[in-house]
Amino acid sequence: MKLATWNVNSLKVRLPQVLQWLSDNPVDVLCLQETKLTDDKFPLAEINAAGYQVAFTGQKTYNGVAILSPHAINDVVKNNPLFADEQQRIIAATIAGMRIVCAYIPNGQAPDSDKFQYKLKWLAALHEWLAQEQQQHPQLALLGDYNIAPEDRDVHDPAAWVGQNLVSPEERGAFAQLLKMGFTDAFRLFDQPEKLFSWWDYRRMGFRLNRGMRIDHILLSPALAAQCSACIIDKTPRKWEQPSDHTPVIATLA
């Protein structure tokens, strides 16, 4: 069983790459973020034709999330029921006995901004909701773009980023809270290469210079973590023409 997450930064632009990647990497679950499509524009037929079911919720220009699977997708929930939000950032579903939550956590912009306060409130509501979900769903996975680099080793140049957005103590505290609740960062279950990231800035030759961050994560409940046999970041699509600035993360469950 393979679970993956990928912030595609516009599914309209990236659909050919998503289909190519799925052809090269058949997975049981693929969570997408930043689809940036209203539901009427979602490429449902193309994804179905590739052999995948899909649940999605989107809006114009920003945000938007989707879950793709070759298996049946059941009990779809859009957004956090405990947090009224016009922004389409969460979709959850049950697939092959697992409860899958696909999340696009707010960016936050800067620690002194209103958007940062929104991010922290959003994360607090996420904690509250997941605490309920884990009671009902022992096999629970949270996949997505967290917009948080959990530790200094997840940042290309930690000294340059101290206190900034994506690495601030408040954000890292919110991530740590998820671990405290019992979730495991699948990537850190295994030995990993140093300086392996999931996002690189388009500017400043970020990818070529490996100036990146690990901000896309797969968090697993204890029952799923016990089955996890591998977790990798696939840098391949970041090397393609006109790439997303993020690249897929994949967890394998035994």
Partner DNA sequence: ATGGCCTCGGTTCGAGGA
Give the catalytic positions in this structure: 104, 145
Question: Whole-number minimum distance, CB 189 to DNA, in Å?
Answer: 23
Q: For DNA, which residue of 115, 121, 153, 180 counts as binding (CB under 7 A)?
A: 115
Q: Would you say 22 or 148 has its CB closer to DNA?
A: 148
The window from 2-10, 23-31, 184-192, 222-230 that contacts DNA (CB under 7 A) reads 2-10
d(C-alpha 23, C-alpha 3), whole Å: 15
Q: Would you say 151 or 201 has its CB closer to DNA?
A: 201
CA distances from 27 to 137, 176, 245, 249, 251 (A): 21, 28, 21, 11, 10
Q: Is 10 in the site for DNA (CB under 7 A)?
A: yes
Q: Is 133 in the site for DNA (CB under 7 A)?
A: no
d(C-alpha 104, C-alpha 147), whole Å: 8
* Interacting residues of 97 by C-beta distance below 8 A, sequence separation 6+: 139
Question: Whole-number minimum distance, CB 138 to DNA, in Å?
Answer: 30
3-state class (DSSP) for residue 180: helix
Taking CB under 7 A as the criterion, which residues in 18-77 touch DNA? Answer: 34, 36, 60-62
Q: Is 121 in the site for DNA (CB under 7 A)?
A: no
Q: Is 7 in the site for DNA (CB under 7 A)?
A: yes
Question: Whole-number minimum distance, CB 19 to DNA, in Å?
Answer: 16
CA distances from 69 to 3, 53, 94, 170, 171 (A): 9, 5, 11, 34, 30
Site string for DNA, 183-222 (x = CB under 7 A): ----------------x-xxxx--------x-x-------
* Interacting residues of 127 by C-beta distance below 8 A, sequence separation 6+: 174, 177, 178, 181
CA distances from 43 to 40, 54, 193, 245, 254 (A): 9, 10, 36, 21, 31
Question: Could you list the residues that contact DNA (CB under 7 A)?
Answer: 7, 9-10, 12-13, 34, 36, 60-62, 106-107, 109-110, 115, 145, 147, 165-166, 199, 201-204, 213, 215, 242, 245-246
